[in-house]
């Protein structure tokens, strides 16, 4: 593998000095890009796009051709693991992901096997290797997974949900069954992320999209605990390179102190908390990634630059900041506004790194 | 008006001693009750149910006949105000509320008039008077409104939304136009709640369902500021009785200290933060209402009692706690579990009030 031409992102994750604040966007490969929508038409459905390494590679690289991004992220879906566990993932138009065979009983959960990522998920590893090769050292590649709790919500509910009644009902009434499920998923995620690292992922990120719907007690016991187990089981050095780990709990700003002690290198932030306050709370123990409200990208170029300046000033001088949105970019955003955003981060951050 | 037979709720709001912790539930009159669904069939649609004082009164009283609740809450909808402003509210089956004429431009917002609650919203005041009369002093009656920010999200988006792109776009790009809109809504809410008080509401509550989707800066400037203006304009004493005010921002636990300084008497809590921690943060300046996860009601009677005991213990000894769910009760809950919940609060709380 070639040495990295741009290691700003990895340096910031290690809280080392950089020339300017690195930036990337959650869901940077996606529907807001016309070239993505074009590639999408070549796959019969969304899942086929994820399962075809050449297409996954193509859409992963698209935003890098347009914008001065400091990292690439594997194009995939968090639900590949439950799919590999045999739940039968499909995407129905306009309704989001669904499972043909959700798991709700002790018997169904006991029967689940932890998948070998190099067997049933080999298409992901093929995509990672291909993307890494095509990137040619331009920027580092991020691999990812959903958190055990977040994957469990889909596996128990059978799809997206408003009230989380089934998964919370299971958690409250049969906590041991829930722990069995989460433990199996945590084993699967650990193996999956380690396989991504072996295939070429230079950083891994765990998305806990639904940890924020829990009480503090339940977040710590049913979500964060399993992310901590995963962090402990990950390959942290591969071929002489350290592999940083980022944890992102949407609506999780209540628990920053606890997340910072899991052994992760960085915390992803949504937009709720000012990043300077988050920084004080974690006392530079970890790097912080975030935290612009994605809706700012609907505003004028001037307003976007103003918001970037405000977040940079709020973080202040020093290392350990990776600029990002607080959630995935919305499909309706005009790509020209993204150029304004990315360029503003680089231009306006230089003074904080002198 | 007769003196109150049960003033536990009002005493707790004033942080005075009580014999046991008072309890009521957000959306306690609603779809989880078969008798509600029966009454609902007698109105041609949901809005007609809200606009017919006899039916609104009937469903308001239904949960009180079943459960030992310590307060009644007016059955209505938060969108009555924008409807009275001429936006044309309707409910399409399965899609939630919609407006025929959303407001998105400066011209449309400038044209909006603040409605006289005793004219276009007189059906609400008729319902309040009727309910108060029918309650016959059994328990106090809570009146309510949506917060200006929450109402604005529906008025600009035209209905429910996932990304809040239009309302946030307006806020970011034309903050002055947004402030004009919020100011008009705040005037309307103030007049509306004062009319409810004059009609017989003994406490008022403001529901800020969508304040929690904002950054801290925007929450303070675009949501809390307008709730504070309303609190300052409310009738706080009526016919010799003090009228307490409760503010509830869903997903707002980040801002408890700021909410506590608005002049409100109590803060509604969702389930995210342990109530003991919330109590420490507001230092007994205000009463606290909450904070059980509504999904606990899917669990076994034993588990429900355990959770009630845990929240009571977490709050600890002393006054100023009104037990409630952290959000509205879900339509799928079995009413028998509600009996278990309500009775558990009364039974298990006695020892904290000796």
Q: Is the pLDDT of residue A351 over 70?
A: yes
When CB atoms are compared, the residue of A163, A271, A307 closest to B295 is: A163
Determine, for residues A271 and B215 on separate chains, whether the beta-carbon distance falls below 8 Å: yes
Determine, for residues A172 and B295 on separate chains, whether the beta-carbon distance falls below 8 Å: yes
* B27 flagged as catalytic: yes
Please report residues of B whose CB lies closer than 8 A to that of A212.
272
Average pLDDT of the segment spanning A261-282 = 97
Average pLDDT of the segment spanning A79-88 = 97
- How close B326 gets to chain A, by Cα (Å)? 10
Closest-CA residue of chain B to A220: B272
Confirm if A129 and A59 have CB atoms less than 8 A apart: no
- The pLDDT of residue A96 is 87
As a whole number of angstroms, the distance between CA B239 and CA B245 comes to: 16
Closest-CA residue of chain A to B171: A299
Task: State pLDDT tens for residues A124-178.
Answer: 999 999 999 999 999 999 999 999 999 999 999 999 888 899 999 999 999 999 9
As a whole number of angstroms, the distance between CA A287 and CA A315 comes to: 11
As a whole number of angstroms, the distance between CA B12 and CA B7 comes to: 9
Closest-CA residue of chain B to A162: B330
Q: For chain B, give the percent of residues with pLDDT over 70.
A: 99
- The pLDDT of residue B2 is 67
- Peptide bond between residue A291 and the one before it cis (omega within 30 degrees of 0): yes
- The pLDDT of residue A2 is 67
Q: The whole model's pTM is what?
A: 0.96
Confirm if A339 and A32 have CB atoms less than 8 A apart: no
Q: Mean pLDDT of all residues in chain A?
A: 96
Task: State pLDDT tens for residues A318-338.
Answer: 999 999 999 999 999 999 999
Q: Which of B27, B96, B164, B172 to mutate to test the interface with A (most CBs of A within 10 A)?
A: B172
* B154 flagged as catalytic: yes
What is the DSSP code (8-state) at residue B118?
A: T
Please report residues of A whose CB lies closer than 8 A to that of B305.
none
Residue by residue, pLDDT tens for chain B (354 residues) are 568 999 999 999 999 999 999 999 999 999 999 999 999 999 999 999 999 999 999 999 999 999 999 999 999 999 999 999 999 999 887 778 999 999 999 999 999 999 999 999 999 999 999 999 999 999 999 999 999 999 999 999 999 888 899 999 999 999 999 999 999 999 999 999 999 999 999 999 999 999 999 999 999 999 999 999 999 999 999 999 999 999 999 999 999 999 999 999 999 999 999 999 999 999 889 999 999 999 999 999 999 999 999 999 999 999 999 999 999 999 999 999 999 999 999 999 999 999
Task: State pLDDT tens for residues A233-245.
Answer: 999 999 999 999 9
Determine, for residues B169 and A299 on separate chains, whether the beta-carbon distance falls below 8 Å: yes
Please report residues of A whose CB lies closer than 8 A to that of B172.
295-296, 298-299, 303, 307
How buried is residue B214: exposed, middle or buried, by Cβ count under 10 Å (0-12/13-18/19+)?
Answer: buried
As a whole number of angstroms, the distance between CA B287 and CA A150 comes to: 34
Please report residues of A whose CB lies closer than 8 A to that of B330.
163, 165
- How close B285 gets to chain A, by Cα (Å)? 22
As a whole number of angstroms, the distance between CA B274 and CA A40 comes to: 45
- The pLDDT of residue B1 is 59
Determine, for residues B163 and A212 on separate chains, whether the beta-carbon distance falls below 8 Å: no
What is the DSSP code (8-state) at residue A159?
A: B
- The pLDDT of residue B92 is 80
- How close A297 gets to chain B, by Cα (Å)? 8
Determine, for residues B303 and A215 on separate chains, whether the beta-carbon distance falls below 8 Å: no
Active-site residues of A: which are they?
27, 31, 40, 77, 154
Task: State pLDDT tens for residues B256-293.
Answer: 999 999 999 999 999 999 999 999 999 889 999 999 99
Backbone CA torsion sign across A142, A147, A148, A153 = negative
B53-66 helix and B122-135 helix, angle to the nearest 10 degrees: 40
């Amino acid at each position: 593998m070639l040495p990295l031409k741009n290691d700003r992102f990895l340096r910031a994750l290690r809280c080392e000095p950089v020339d300017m604040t690195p930036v990337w966007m959650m869901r940077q490969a996606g529907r807001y890009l016309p070239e993505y929508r074009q590639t999408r038409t070549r796959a019969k459905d969304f899942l086929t796009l994820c399962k075809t390494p050449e297409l996954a590679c193509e859409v992963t690289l698209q935003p890098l051709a347009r914008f001065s991004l400091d990292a690439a992220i594997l194009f995939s879906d968090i639900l590949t693991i439950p799919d590999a566990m045999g739940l039968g993932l499909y995407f129905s138009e306009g309704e989001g992901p669904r499972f043909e065979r959700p798991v709700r009983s002790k018997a169904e959960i006991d029967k689940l096997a932890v998948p070998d990522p190099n067997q049933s998920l080999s298409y992901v590893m093929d995509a990672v290797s291909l993307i890494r090769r095509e990137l040619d050292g331009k920027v580092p590649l991020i691999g990812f997974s959903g958190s055990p709790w977040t994957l469990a919500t889909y596996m128990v509910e059978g799809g997206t949900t408003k009230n989380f009644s089934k998964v919370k009902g299971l958690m409250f009434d049969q906590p041991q069954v829930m722990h069995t499920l989460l433990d199996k998923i945590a084993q699967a995620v650990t193996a999956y992320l380690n396989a991504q690292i072996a295939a070429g992922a230079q950083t891994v990120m765990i998305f806990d999209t639904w940890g924020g719907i829990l009480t503090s007690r339940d977040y710590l016991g049913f979500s964060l605990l399993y992310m901590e187990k995963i962090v402990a089981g990950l390959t942290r050095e591969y071929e002489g390179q350290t592999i940083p780990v980022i944890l992102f709990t949407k609506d999780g700003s209540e628990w920053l102190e606890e997340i910072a002690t899991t052994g992760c290198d960085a915390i992803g932030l949504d937009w709720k908390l000012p990043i300077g306050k988050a920084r004080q709370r974690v006392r530079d123990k970890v790097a912080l990634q975030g935290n612009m409200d994605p809706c700012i990208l609907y505003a004028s170029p001037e307003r976007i630059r103003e918001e970037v300046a405000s977040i940079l000033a709020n973080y202040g001088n020093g290392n350990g900041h990776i600029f990002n949105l607080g959630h995935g970019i919305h499909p309706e955003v005009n790509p020209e506004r993204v150029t304004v955003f990315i360029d503003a981060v680089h231009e306006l951050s230089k003074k904080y790194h002198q």
